[in-house]
Structure 1
Amino acid sequence: MSQLSRAAMKWSRLMETAQPNRRLPSTLFISQKLFSTEASGSSLGSADDQFLRTPGSGSVYGRVNNITKYTTKSDIINFLEGCNLNPDNVKVEYTRTYLPKSMMIAFPSSSAYDAAMKAINRKGRLLNMIRADKAQWDVTAPYDGKAILLHGIPRNALIDDVERFLSGCQYDSSSIQMFVRPTDQGPIRMGLIRFPSQALAMHAYITKNQGFCLNNQITLQVLH
Structure 2
Amino acid sequence: MSKLNLIGNLGRLNGLLRSTRSNQSFLPLFQREATRHFATDAEQKDSSLDPFLRPPSTGLAYGRLIGFGRNTLKTDIINFLEGCNLTPQDVKVEYNRAFTSVGMILQFPSRIAFDSAIRLMNRNGRLYKLERADRSQWDVAKSYDGKVVLMQGVPRNALPEDIERVLSGCVYNSSSIQTFVRPAFPDPVRLALVEFPSQVEAMNAVLVKNRSFCLNNQILMRVLQ
Runs of 4+ aligned residues of structure 1 deviating over 4 Å after TM superposition are: none
TM-score normalised according to structure 1 size: 0.73
CA distance in 1, matches of 2:65, 2:82: 15
Tell me, in whole angstroms, the C-alpha distance in 2 between the residues paired with 1:196 and 1:217: 25
Letter of the 1:165 counterpart = V
1:160 is aligned to 2:164: no
Q: Closer, same or farther in 2 for the Cα pair 1:174/1:58, shift >3 Å? A: farther
Indicate the residue corresponding to 2:118 in structure 1: 117
- The one-letter code sitting in structure 2 at the alignment partner of 1:171 is Y
Contact 1:67 1:100 in 2 (8 A): no
CA–CA distance in structure 2, aligned partners of residues 171 and 157 of structure 1? 19
Distance in 2 between the 1:139 and 1:198 partners?
Answer: 22
- Structure 2 stretches of 5 or more lacking a match? 1-55
CA deviation digits over 1:65-87, x for unaligned, max 9? Answer: 11110211111111111000111
TM-score by length of 2: 0.73
Q: Secondary structure at the match of 2:163?
A: helix
Is the contact made by 1:181 and 1:188 (CA closer than 8 Å) also made in structure 2? yes
Question: Which letter maps to 1:198?
Answer: Q
> Secondary structure at 2:104's aligned position in 1?
strand
1:89 aligns with 2:99: no
- CA-to-partner distance for each residue in 1:106-162, whole Å, 9 max, x for gaps? 001111111111111111222101001111111111011111000011111111111
Once residues 122 and 219 of structure 1 are traced to their aligned partners in structure 2, the CA distance between those partners, rounded to angstroms, is 38
Over alpha carbons, which structure has the higher Rg? 1
Give 1:155's aligned amino acid: R
Gaps of 5+ in 1: 1-54
> Counterpart of 2:181 in 1: which secondary structure?
strand
- Residue by residue, what CA displacement relative to the aligned partner does 1:158-180 show, whole Å, maximum 9, x if unpaired? 11111111111111112110010
Partner of 2:162, secondary structure, is helix
Partner of 2:200: 199
Tell me the residue number matched to 2:179.
178
What amino acid sits opposite 2:57 in the alignment?
A: G
Name the count of aligned residue pairs. Answer: 171
Distance, in Å, in 2 between the alignment partners of 1:157 and 1:70 is: 28
- Residue pair 1:97, 1:183 contacting (<8 A) in 2 also: no
Deviations 1:17-56 (A, max 9, x none): xxxxxxxxxxxxxxxxxxxxxxxxxxxxxxxxxxxxxx72
Q: State the partner residue of 2:137.
A: 136
Counterpart position of 2:76 = 75
Return the offset for 1:184.
3.3
Quick one: which amino acid aligns to residue 127 of structure 2? Answer: L
1:126 aligns to what?
127
Match of 1:213 in 2: 214
> Percent identity between the aligned chains?
55
Within 1, Cα distance between the matches of 2:190 and 2:85? 40
Instruction: Give the residue type in structure 1 aligned to 2:154.
Output: I
Question: C-alpha root-mean-square deviation of aligned residues, in Å?
Answer: 1.4
CA distance in 1, matches of 2:141, 2:67: 17
